[in-house]
Structure 1
Amino acid sequence: MSVTTHRSAEEIGRTDAGPRPLPPLGATRAVPLPDVEERTLPNGLRVLAAHRPGVPMVELRLRVPFAGDAPEHPAVAELLASTLLTGTEGRDRVGIDDELAAVGADLGVSVDPERLQIGGSGLADGLPDLLGVLADVLTAATHPDGEVARERDRLVERISVARAQPRTVAREALQRKRFGDHPITREMPTGEDVAAVGAEQVRALQAAALVPGGSILTLVGDIDPAVALAEVEKAVGGWAGAGPARELSPPPPITPADLQLVHRAGSVQSQLRLSAPALPRDDPRYAALQLANLVFGGYFSSRWMENIREDKGYTYGAHSGVEFVPGGAVLGVETDVASDVTAAALLETRYELGRLTAVPPTAAEVDAARAYAVGSLLISLDNQGGLASTLSALAADGLGIDWLRAHPSRLEAVTVDQVAEAALEFFAPTAFTGVVVGDADVIGARVRALGGISDS
C-alpha cells in the first residue's frame, strides 16, 4: 500500500534544479461594460440606467449635492440623514422597512460636506416598489419629533466615541491644515451642535436642500434601461424644489508648508498625515500619476510599504492615494506608528518621497503597478454595486462609461518616462504639508530635530 506524504508549499515550489519558475502573467481579461441610457427629467433629476445581468438584482445610488455654509448645517444634515427613513405622511418606520423587505430591498443614507447619498439594492422586479419608497421619503418624509430626539441622542453618543479615536483627530487636523475653515472640513459636527437641533430645523432643511435639480440617480442591474427610466419618471417626477441642489465650492489649493505637530496627551501611537496637490480623473496625466502613486505607496508591493512595514517594522499598514474634491484632487499619504518610532517613520517617509523623485520608477515597477491598477479596476466593476458606485462618482465629475472603458488602455499606454515625470512633479517632499498627531512630550524633540515641523 502506498503512503502519501504531505509536501509543504516550499517543497512544491522547488525542484532538484532549484525553484520552479513562475509562469508569465496572462493577458488581462476585459470586463464587458454595458451601455448607459441617460435622461434628465423635467424636475432636473439626471437619471442613468445600465443593464448588467448575472443576478436578478438592481443597485440604486442617488447623489444630491448638499453643501451649506451655516455653522449648524453639518449637525442638521446628519440628523436629516439619520431620520429620512423613519417615517413619511403615509408610512411609519416599520412600514418602510416592511415594504422594502417585501422586495428584498434595503436603503441607507449618508451625508458629508459635499453630498447626501441614498444607496441600496433590491430584486430587479421589485424596482417599482423600491422607487415608490424612495419617492415617498424624498417628497413626504416627516422626521417625527420622537425619531429625531432618539436619533439625536444616538448621534451625540457616536460622535463622542468617534472624537476619542486617533484617526478622527488626525483627519480633522489634516483637513484644517490643508483647507483652513472651508466647509469641506466640517465632516463631523460637534455633539453640542447636534444636541441643539430640533425636528423643525431638519424638516426645513429637507424642504430647502433635498431637491432634484443637479441630483443624479444611477440604476445598474438586471433591468431594461428604457423601462427603468420610465419607472423613475413615474415615481419621482413629482419631486420638486425651488432651485437646484447646492454644490460645494472648490476648497483652496493646498499650499506646501511645514508639518504641524498636534499634541494628543497620553497617546501611545502617532498618526502621520501628509498631503499635496494632485490631478482630477480627466487630466491627461492622471494615469501616469496613478501609477506613480502605486509605486510609492498605493498597494502592498509599493516602495514605502516595503520600507516602513516589511523592512523596518514600524507599522502594520501605510497607504497613499488620490482623494477627489470639488474642482480637483489631492494626494494623501498616511500611516500610524508607535510613538517611539515616529521620527524614524517620518524620516523614512520623506526619504521615500525624495527617492521617488531622484530614483525614478523602473520599468519592472511600472509594469507591476500597471497590472495591479488595471486588474483592480476591472475587479471593482465586475459586480452591479461596484459599477453603480463608479458610474455615480464619474457622473458627478462630468465623466461617463466611455471614460471608464478607455481607462485600462490609458494605463497600458503610459510610459516609464511619463511616470517618472509625474513622480517628480507630485511626490517631491517640498510639495507636501500635513500633520503629525501624537504625544508631543514623547515624540516632539526627535520630530522637531528633523526640521520642517511647527507646533500647533
Structure 2
Amino acid sequence: MSAPLAAVPALTAPKAPKKLRSETVALDSGLTVVAVRKPGVPLVEARLRVPFLSAKAAHPARANLLAEALPTGAGGYDRAGLAAAVQALGGDISVSVDADRLAVSGNVLATNLRALLDLVAALLVEPAYARPEVATERARLVERLGMARARPGVVASEALARRMWGAHPYSLDLPDGDAVAAVTQAQLHATHRDLVRPAGATLVLVGDLPTARLVEQAGAALADWTGSPAARRVPALPASPGGPLLVLDRPGSVQTSVRYGAPAVPRSDPGFPALQLANLIFGGYFSSRWTENIREDKGYTYGPHSRVDHHTLGSTLALDVEVATEVTAPALLETHYELGRIATLPVTEAEVESVRQYAIGTLALSTATQAGLASTLSALAAFDLGLDWIAGQPKRLLATTVDEVSAAAARFFAPTAFTSVVVGDAATIAAPLAALGPVER
C-alpha cells in the first residue's frame, strides 16, 4: 500500500532582494543616465528611450520607417559594415518604436561597452538613411503592414483603439501602408533632426562594471549628441466612451477576435497593487477565473488574457481572447458573468494570497537578469520610477488587503466600464450577441 502524498508546504516569505549599486546622472545635454552594477556575467545591457509622441498625422508612418531604416547605416558605415562592427564587439543593437518612444537597445561584453556606445552615438548623430536602404525598408514595412492587417486580432485591436481614443495618436497602433509608401528620405532626416534628441531621453546601463565607469563612458561616447526636440502639442487622453458592442464583419471566419478596454491607473498610483492583484484573479495568469471558466471548464478558447497596459498619458485594462465562431455569444456571456462576479462579490483570501505570491515571483524573475532589469528600468523611466519602485512593490503587494482588492475589482471590472469590439462572421454571431445586449455594426 503506497504512502499518502505529503501536503505541499506553504510558500515562505519573499527574501529582500540584494541591494544593487546604482547611480542616476543628468548630463548637460538633458540625457539622463541610469547606471546599475549587476554582476553575474561580463556583459552590459543598454536601453535608450527617446520620447517620440507626436500628434502630427504623418508621424506614425515616418516614425515606423525611421526605426526600420536607422540601423542600416551611420557614421560612414553602410548596413553590412555597421553589422560587422557590432558583431566584432560581441554585441547587438536593435531599434524599435511605438507611440510613446523610440528605443535603441543593445548588449555587449563589458570590456567593449565604450565601442558599442560609440556606434550608438553614430546612429544618433550621423544617421545615413541612404536612399536605396530607405526604399528597401519602406517596401518591407508596407508588406508587413499588409500581412498584419490580414489578421483579425490586429483588426480588432485597431478598431478598439479607434473607438476608445478617437483621433488621439494612441488610436493608430500601426501606420497606414499608403502613408509609409509616401515617406521620403528627406522626411526621415527631418524627423530624426526634430525628435531624436537627448533632452528628456533616458539611457539605462546594467552590467558588471562600476556605476561611475558606466556613466563616464556614456557621457564621453554621447558628448556630441545635443539639442532639444521640436515642440510637440499632444492632447490629453480622452475618456473611454463605452457603449454598445461593436461587431465588425469578417465573412466566413472560423473564429471571433474579442477585445475589451477600460481605463486603469498607472504603476505610481497607490491603488495599483490592488488593481494588479484583481487583474490576476480575473484573467491575468493561467489559473485565473476567466481562464478556468472559458478554457478549462467550457473549452471555448485556448487562452484568454487580461492585462494592464501603461502608456505615457494613461493606463488601460485590456481583455483579449479568440474563440470559435459558434461559441462567440456563450463565451461573451461567460466573460460578462466573470466580470460581474468579480465586480460585485468579494474575492477570497486564498485567491489574493495565490496571486500575491505570483506577482512577487514574476517581478523577481523579470528583473533577475541584466537584460530583464534594464528593460524594466527603461519602461519605468517614462514615469520617473526606478529601482526604488522595484524594491518597494513586493512590500506594497504584501500590504494590500482582501478588501482593497475587492474594492479595486468593483471599481475597474464592472462590465459597463468597458469599450468592446468583436471581429468575426457577423451573419453567424450578430443575432446571438444582440440577445446579450446592444450591438452596433
Confirm or deny a common fold (TM above 0.5).
yes
The reply on whether 1:95 has 2:81 as its aligned counterpart is yes
Contact kept in structure 2, 1:314 and 1:337, CA below 8 Å: yes
Residue 111 of structure 2: SS of its match in structure 1? helix
Provide the C-alpha distance between the structure 2 equivalents of 1:421 and 1:136, rounded to a whole number of angstroms: 51
CA offsets 1:349-392 (integer angstroms, 9 cap, x no match): 00000011222110000000101000111111110011111111
Contact kept in structure 1, 2:347 and 2:406, CA below 8 Å: yes
Q: Which amino acid in 1 is paired with 2:122? A: D
Residue 405 of structure 1: SS of its match in structure 2? helix
The reply on whether 1:415 has 2:401 as its aligned counterpart is yes
Deviation at 1:193? 1.1
Deviation at 1:301? 0.7
Residue 159 of structure 1: SS of its match in structure 2? helix
Provide the C-alpha distance between the structure 2 equivalents of 1:37 and 1:291, rounded to a whole number of angstroms: 31
Aligned twin of 1:6: none
Give the TM-score normalised by structure 1: 0.94
Q: 1:388 to 1:249 in 2, by over 3 A?
A: farther
Aligned twin of 1:177: 163
Deviation at 1:249? 4.6
Contact kept in structure 2, 1:250 and 1:325, CA below 8 Å: no
CA offsets 1:96-127 (integer angstroms, 9 cap, x no match): 11211111111111111111111111111110
Aligned twin of 2:99: 113
Q: Which has the larger radius of gyration?
A: 1
Aligned twin of 1:278: 264
The reply on whether 1:215 has 2:232 as its aligned counterpart is no
Contact kept in structure 2, 1:65 and 1:247, CA below 8 Å: no
Give the TM-score normalised by structure 2: 0.97
Residue 251 of structure 1: SS of its match in structure 2? coil
Aligned twin of 1:3: none
Q: 1:386 to 1:246 in 2, by over 3 A?
A: farther
Aligned twin of 2:358: 372
Aligned twin of 2:133: 147
Deviation at 1:447? 0.7
CA offsets 1:324-360 (integer angstroms, 9 cap, x no match): 1223211011110000000000000000000112221
The reply on whether 1:360 has 2:346 as its aligned counterpart is yes
Residue 281 of structure 1: SS of its match in structure 2? coil
Residue 398 of structure 1: SS of its match in structure 2? coil
Instruction: Give me the identity figure in percent.
Output: 49
The match for 1:202 among 174, 188, 191 is 188
Residue 71 of structure 2: SS of its match in structure 1? coil
Aligned twin of 1:300: 286
Deviation at 1:244? 6.0
Residue 84 of structure 1: SS of its match in structure 2? helix
The match for 2:40 among 48, 54, 59 is 54
Provide the C-alpha distance between the structure 2 equivalents of 1:65 and 1:196, rounded to a whole number of angstroms: 24
Deviation at 1:246? 5.0
Deviation at 1:158? 0.7
Provide the C-alpha distance between the structure 2 equivalents of 1:244 and 1:406, rounded to a whole number of angstroms: 36
CA offsets 1:113-155 (integer angstroms, 9 cap, x no match): 1111111111111100010000011000010000001111111
CA offsets 1:170-208 (integer angstroms, 9 cap, x no match): 110110111111111222112211111111111111111
Residue 282 of structure 2: SS of its match in structure 1? helix
Residue 50 of structure 2: SS of its match in structure 1? strand
The reply on whether 1:291 has 2:277 as its aligned counterpart is yes
Contact kept in structure 2, 1:260 and 1:454, CA below 8 Å: yes
Q: Which amino acid in 1 is paired with 2:274? A: A
Provide the C-alpha distance between the structure 2 equivalents of 1:30 and 1:309, rounded to a whole number of angstroms: 36
Contact kept in structure 2, 1:251 and 1:326, CA below 8 Å: no
Provide the C-alpha distance between the structure 1 equivalents of 2:407 and 2:117, rounded to a whole number of angstroms: 48
The reply on whether 1:26 has 2:12 as its aligned counterpart is yes
Provide the C-alpha distance between the structure 2 equivalents of 1:402 and 1:70, rounded to a whole number of angstroms: 36
CA offsets 1:308-329 (integer angstroms, 9 cap, x no match): 0000000000111111122321
Structure 2: unaligned runs, 5 residues or longer: none
Provide the C-alpha distance between the structure 1 equivalents of 2:229 and 2:155, rounded to a whole number of angstroms: 36
The match for 1:73 among 59, 62, 65 is 59
Residue 22 of structure 1: SS of its match in structure 2? coil
Provide the C-alpha distance between the structure 1 equivalents of 2:71 and 2:359, rounded to a whole number of angstroms: 37
Provide the C-alpha distance between the structure 1 equivalents of 2:168 and 2:427, rounded to a whole number of angstroms: 31
The match for 2:246 among 260, 266, 286 is 260
Deviates more, 1:121-130 or 1:32-41: 32-41
The reply on whether 1:446 has 2:422 as its aligned counterpart is no
Contact kept in structure 1, 2:55 and 2:232, CA below 8 Å: no
Aligned twin of 2:388: 402
Cα RMSD (Å): 1.5
Provide the C-alpha distance between the structure 2 equivalents of 1:149 and 1:357, rounded to a whole number of angstroms: 52
Q: 1:95 to 1:158 in 2, by over 3 A?
A: same
Residue 373 of structure 1: SS of its match in structure 2? helix
The match for 2:303 among 308, 314, 317 is 317
The match for 2:145 among 152, 159, 163 is 159
Q: 1:77 to 1:393 in 2, by over 3 A?
A: same
Deviates more, 1:252-261 or 1:220-229: 252-261
Aligned twin of 1:10: none
Q: 1:115 to 1:316 in 2, by over 3 A?
A: same
Deviation at 1:24? 2.2
Q: 1:59 to 1:172 in 2, by over 3 A?
A: same
Provide the C-alpha distance between the structure 2 equivalents of 1:263 and 1:228, rounded to a whole number of angstroms: 54
Deviation at 1:76? 1.2
CA offsets 1:202-233 (integer angstroms, 9 cap, x no match): 11111111111111110001111111111111
Aligned twin of 1:384: 370
Q: Which amino acid in 2 is paired with 1:138? A: L
Structure 1: unaligned runs, 5 residues or longer: 1-14
Residue 64 of structure 1: SS of its match in structure 2? strand
Contact kept in structure 1, 2:260 and 2:320, CA below 8 Å: yes
Q: Which amino acid in 2 is paired with 1:433? A: T
Aligned twin of 1:251: 237
Contact kept in structure 2, 1:214 and 1:244, CA below 8 Å: no
Aligned twin of 1:436: 422
- Residue-pair matches, total: 441
Q: 1:246 to 1:128 in 2, by over 3 A?
A: farther
Contact kept in structure 2, 1:58 and 1:122, CA below 8 Å: yes
